[in-house]
Structure 1
């Protein structure tokens, strides 16, 4: 249970607040310029301005937690750090690594990653540095360079982050500074100049560019070309005997000859479906897709795709949706597509369980990519489209042969109509903005609307090879979302929580409506449930939509829960809500078969029926229990 339009519910006193990776990512994206400036100011000026810029960006970009959640080691941020617990966490990570980068490099113990030059980002042939300031900025930079790393950190936290000395001590202590008090005392020797810390002189996101030493670069280039030529000659001599592994492009060399495995990699044994197979088949799945594209006869390309699938080399970028095996095909797979898409050659293959997408540049095989998605049991709408390419925030699909018309619509504007999407003779759509790639605030959410013999079907890109189908209605009898567009409008942005999870379909079910206290109107309670291709790992979100709000608010969530599903179509959730009159209430709602709802803990009360409204205090916490019409008890989703 979470509150809406209020400060977040305080954590239990005995536990540290958990920082969710999505929360940390949102804080990092929103406050990225501020975090990079913090790192730049704390890094030692002896690094030089160019390396300080690149190192500050590298440290900030590595500040996300590695797991799904991470424990915050500092209290809620004080005044001035307005990013919440997520911002407090990434700020601590940036500060800790910036301090590590300033320590002397020694071989024993092993150096920290932050002490080494960053691999990324890198800029070749240019020197990047912030815009030059005036005499005051130069004097401040000289004074800061004379301070120790912890003292610089203390000065910046005071002036840039507006933290009190007590909060600065806590942050420095959490960052591993041995003596925060000494650092504060040393920082006090530099007069406060808070305005200068925000000047362009110390902004590593607003940069000037100049070339490096051109004469030295020319000498190094000649030496590099000579070394490359020697390597090419040696490589040619190495692979000349026999048929070798050279034709396999980015694939790794085979460990041993295996006739059965080699048969699966023979382009001549790829299976294909006839152009009309889908018209007479009892089941419309990927197995009846014909092979399309201009490169279906390019045996060298198909050989490389099969070889990389079997044994991807170190340079190949391999990705697979959760729960999808990435091993070689058990036998010759089916060819779905081979052609040029934008600036890449793309091959789509299907082995009955998975879709494999191989992509390489039009010129050469360097930078090849191999992506897998599980699609076992896909039929109808679930087998209607596959992603061919994503670039510059846009996505292109390959359509199923039974799709007669494709269009794009914004789920946030259900009355806005559709925009026709051009489809080539090979079934390739035009490019359009993908919601899986959008950054920042959610202002739109594009969905793909496909028409065929069975009517319109609505799908959306969730960063998978296959789009997820959108449905609405009771879990036991969902219907396509195109038949009730308004049901998804306030909740479309919550689909971001299901990205890259191997999602097969997402259903939005309005399980309750509640008349709000103080004559504020009627609110909707909706459950969105994402089903995955592997059956488990579902994600359930309970959302509350007040009449004055544009979007629904997530008030509870659960993973691997049977709630709100076809097997257990029940749900109970609550929220702390403030009415227009300024009064706080605990609101709760259960599915239609809930006969009573009870609140215990900081708020107590019982209501007959499936909704409850009790006066409450801001920040109060309660536990919810519900009774179903068959006598079974359910707990509130948290």
Structure 2
């Protein structure tokens, strides 16, 4: 807001003469509305307590000193229609509220409205209106982005129901230099008028909370001036090395209820005992102990909780699909707090989500807040979390029961695994594949060993790595076995198609093997199914792999399909294939319980059993229909 937004007071057009008694009657009758008007026009940067008190002070000072002329501006609305007394006091309220938002000049005395009000004052309490919903908060944020005159124009139009011409005359009488520009700027906020009547913006219906009781007790022990100096110096010296404020990159606080405050108190964080997992029947994040060298850094934990509750504009927020990003319902569990590469990192768990907060070690650059949904995670799905990414590498925090970690290239199953050193559960950096661009020549996976076996997880660009399995969907097995590794090799690069989709696990199932019609060997049919944490968004790929090929080819795909899953362990797919001699064939395969397959459309052919081979022409198009052994029909994936 610039000082030129409000010009020196013009001389309003002469209207009806209003005496003090008439103005007082209008002020008393419409006091709640006038205070609401002042509250909405005042800049939100004042803070809600001072904004409330200033709104009441400006309204109470709106009475004229004697008989005066009211501007020729209609009062509008039922009880105020044609009331010059109301129009006069409203003009005073708008003018002084705009003046209160002006910055203090270096060479000029401040106006009375720019100073904190002497009266009314409430000692020992903070006053604020009742909290509204998401719509009210969004409107308040949009209004705060407007200049003072534009905010006044929006409120006069929405709350007072004034026409555009009447709004222009009020702003002109209040001393606004360019009313037309203010009205044009206000038009960019198309908020429903009803929201302006919300309790969120009612400074006459208030909640009261005590001010800082400990600080008040300290201030009583010394003179006011000495205590203020100590408080200022202590606040400056108490800032962390990087210069973060107590709430870091968090937005201003609007949460006042006890549950919300408890969730933001570092002292109430849940910290599981280091040996709890050894005696618990659970193998999920609830039995992870708090690790890292900053679990006692109260300032860091406070910033992480504050940013989680209300991330500021400079915070980069990301969430896997289907993951809510709101504040925790209660104090979350601390999983990690420490230094990771060039950042301070905090990992928190609230029973539904993992939240990762990261801020730079040096300075107060942009903080990051990432969310991942983990409800129902257990076993392999709760064995690793991404701590950080740097220079194309990924660093993981592993479960306390993990005894070994290694890096393995899925595309080179015979090359063995490279051990990753574990230090208090933190694994050495692993070369990531999920964020890599260009040709896919390798795909690294995280191999973890615990007391029950060895598992494979892969990074898909999110906080939780996806669990890799193989075999029939009704009884999948770990993909870490030798045969499973060779089965996954041609299809590893297809994992790139499900990056950043909130994937929980990916199963690769070889549902058929088919002899090629030119006698060059047998092709494998593999179905890869990616299940998500949210249930929906499932991705199914039917892939075809010929002998000697490094990669599988996608023959068919589907989304949100039960095919190839535990509930419907059946699949049917086909592909047009060109032999070494240049001949074209339709090759189709179904799972082992497929009794017959028939081609429809542009290709005519049928076969008993789960395999179909039909000679055709290049570019031919066909559909597939099948019948299962129990008589149920099945359609081909597309």
TM-score, normalised by the number of residues in structure 1? 0.61
Q: Report SS of the residue matched to 2:563.
A: coil
Matches within 5 A, 1:622-637: 622-637=622-637
The aligned counterpart of 1:452 is: 450
Q: Distance in 2 between matches of 1:307 and 1:262?
A: 10
After the TM superposition, which residues 440-479 of structure 1 pair with which residues of structure 2 at under 5 Å, given as runs?
Answer: 440-479=438-477
Aligned match of 1:371:
370
Which residue pairs with 2:309 in the alignment?
A: 310
Q: Deviations 1:552-606 (Å, cap 9, x if unpaired)?
A: 0011111100000000011000000001111000000001000111001111110
**1:400 equivalent in alignment to 2:396:** no
Residues 328-349 of structure 1 show CA distances to partners (whole Å, capped at 9, x for unaligned) of: 0000000000000000000000
Distance in 2, matches of 1:482 and 1:547, equals 22
Give, in angstroms, the shift of residue 366 of structure 1. 2.3
The answer as to whether partners of 2:292 and 2:337 remain within 8 angstroms in 1 is yes
1:612 aligns with 2:612: yes
How far apart in 2 are the matches of 1:538 and 1:601? 28
Q: Does 1:388 align with 2:402?
A: no
Question: In 1, distance between residues paired with 2:548 and 2:258?
Answer: 67
Matched residue, 1:262: 261
Contact 1:250 1:366 in 2 (8 A): no
What's the CA shift for 1:258? 2.5
| 1:335-373 Cα shifts (integer Å, max 9, x gaps) | 000000000000000000000000000023321000000
Query: Which residues in structure 2 correspond to 1:96-495 (within 5 Å)?
Result: 246-424=245-423, 426-483=424-481, 484-495=484-495
Shift of 1:256: 4.7
Q: Does 1:533 align with 2:533?
A: yes
Contact preservation (8 Å) 2:249, 2:367? yes
Instruction: After superposition, give the CA deviation of every residue in 1:494-522 in whole Å (9 maximum; x if it has no partner).
Output: 00011101000000000000011011210
Instruction: Note the alpha carbon deviations across 1:459-487, whole angstroms, 9 max, x for none.
Output: 00011101000000000000000022111
Structure 2 equivalent of residue 573 of structure 1: 573
**Structure with larger RCO (C-alpha < 8 A, sep 6+):** 1
What residue in structure 2 maps to residue 550 of structure 1?
A: 550
In 1, the alpha carbon distance for the partners of 2:505 and 2:491 equals 15
Supply the distance in 2 between the matched residues of 1:287 and 1:402 (Cα, whole angstroms): 13
Deviations, residues 172-201 of structure 1 (Å, cap 9, x unaligned): xxxxxxxxxxxxxxxxxxxxxxxxxxxxxx
Supply the distance in 2 between the matched residues of 1:520 and 1:603 (Cα, whole angstroms): 24
Rg comparison, structure with higher value = 2
C-alpha displacement of 1:427:
1.2
8 Å contact from structure 1 (residues 626, 633) kept in 2:
yes
Q: Please give the alpha-carbon distance, in whole angstroms, between the structure 2 residues aligned to 1:611 and 1:520.
A: 17
CA distance 1:263–1:572, shift in 2 (3 Å): same
Helix, strand or coil: the match of 1:437? coil
The alignment partner of 1:247 has SS state of: coil
In 2, distance between residues paired with 1:379 and 1:454? 13
> Deviation above 3 Å: which 4+ runs of structure 1?
none
CA distance in 1: counterparts of 2:533 and 2:549, whole angstroms: 33
Quick check: 1:512–1:590 contact (8 Å CA) kept in 2?
yes
CA contact (8 A) 2:259 2:329 kept: no
CA deviations on 1:236-266 (whole Å, 9 max, x unpaired) are 99x99xx9x9410100001253322111100
Give the whole-Å Cα distance in 1 for the aligned partners of 2:622 and 2:533: 35
Say whether the 8 Å CA contact 2:511–2:591 is kept in structure 1: yes
Question: Aligned with 1:518: secondary structure?
Answer: coil
1:98-139 CA-to-partner distances (Å, cap 9, x unmatched) read xxxxxxxxxxxx9xxxxxxxxxxxxxxxxxxxxxxxxxxxxx
Q: In structure 1, what is the Cα distance between the partners aligned to 2:475 and 2:265? A: 45
Tell me the distance in 2 between the aligned counterparts of 1:612 and 1:281: 52
In the alignment of these two chains, the number of paired residues is 400
3-state DSSP class of the match of 1:382?
helix
Structure 1: any 5+ residue segments left out of the alignment?
1-109, 111-235
Query: Deviations along 1:439-463, whole A, 9 cap, x unmatched?
Result: 1010000010000101101100011
Indicate conservation of the 8 Å contact 1:570/1:590, yes or no. Answer: yes
CA distance in 2 between partners of 1:466 and 1:524 (Å): 30
Aligned match of 2:503: 503
Q: Which runs of 5+ in 2 are unaligned?
A: 1-183, 185-231
CA RMSD in angstroms, aligned pairs only: 1.8
Q: Secondary structure at the match of 2:451?
A: coil
- Report the Cα distance in structure 2 between the residues aligned to 1:320 and 1:365, rounded to whole angstroms: 23
Separation in 2, partners of 1:414, 1:566: 27
Q: How far apart are residue 621 of structure 1 and its match? A: 0.2
Which whole-Å deviations, capped at 9, do the CAs of 1:37-76 have from their partners, x for residues lacking one?
A: xxxxxxxxxxxxxxxxxxxxxxxxxxxxxxxxxxxxxxxx
Separation in 2, partners of 1:260, 1:404: 38
